[in-house]
Chain A
């Protein structure tokens, strides 16, 4: 079964990187350009895994995690944070909001694919 991934990042360059990396790893990917766009696309994407950046305009990654977790249909959907940030305080905030994991950029294609498959198993 092809896993569906919703990837949310405000950087066009980063979305391009994710498109290539995740497509080549065999995932069905939907891209969103910030937290609001991600929530708008959530139901249509019906993702098995959500990947979100933290620092974004309009709605940041913490807001995404809280909003996704507030929907009954996505209470158990794994959410991976993918960011250049690495502070323990930010990780703790994401974990408390309901994130499943934290990946520090630059990401490795194989490690990212492996993490997606692991959390969706």
Chain B
């Protein structure tokens, strides 16, 4: 059970957070973005990421590198606190088409995360994807429970809560300045 005053950690675009603390709630607001909530029911640890765009603009290979690395970073962080990749189950949220002109970003995001989880043999236990409404998602990383609140109307742009929590509770999925860094010993 979650205590009466849970510690809410806002996971903003490009960030991720993991925990095994029953008093922690991971929260994000999603429009066309995707959040993957992964949970290890044995270790009772979970985490959430928040992916704005899985692909890189002008990426000639056509692969969704940034989304791939955001997913791998989340899995690695869960392994650091006792999770096992083979135990993981997923709940996915977001991918709304919130732009009036229908750019298809939400659909592309949803397709990316489904493809990734299938390739990595991580089952999707629940999902709320697509539509035209933004969502507020709350994920309880110790129990694996998730709640979402749909906004009443479509929103024109991606909304993100300003960070309310200290940086040590969450980190960029891709390390700032560290991406692609080559260090020879």
Contact = CB atoms under 8 A, between A and B. Distances in A.
Centre residue among B56, B66, B76, B185 by max chain A CB count within 10 A = B185
A8 to B, nearest CB: 14
A55 B79 contact: yes
Interface in A91-109: 91, 94-95, 99-109
Interface string B138-174: 0000000000000000000000000000000000001
A53 to B, nearest CB: 9
B76 A85 contact: yes
Contacts of B63: 16-17, 20
Nearest to B79: A55
Interface string A65-87: 00000000000000000011110
Contacts of B3: none
A101 B76 contact: no
Contact of B185 (A20, A100, A104, A114): A100
A84 B69 contact: yes
Contacts of A48: none
Contact of B184 (A13, A83, A118): A118
Contacts of A119: 184
Given A12-B120, A13-B120, A106 B182 contact: no
Interface of B: 56, 61, 63, 65-66, 68-69, 71-73, 75-76, 79, 84-86, 116, 119-120, 174-175, 178-185
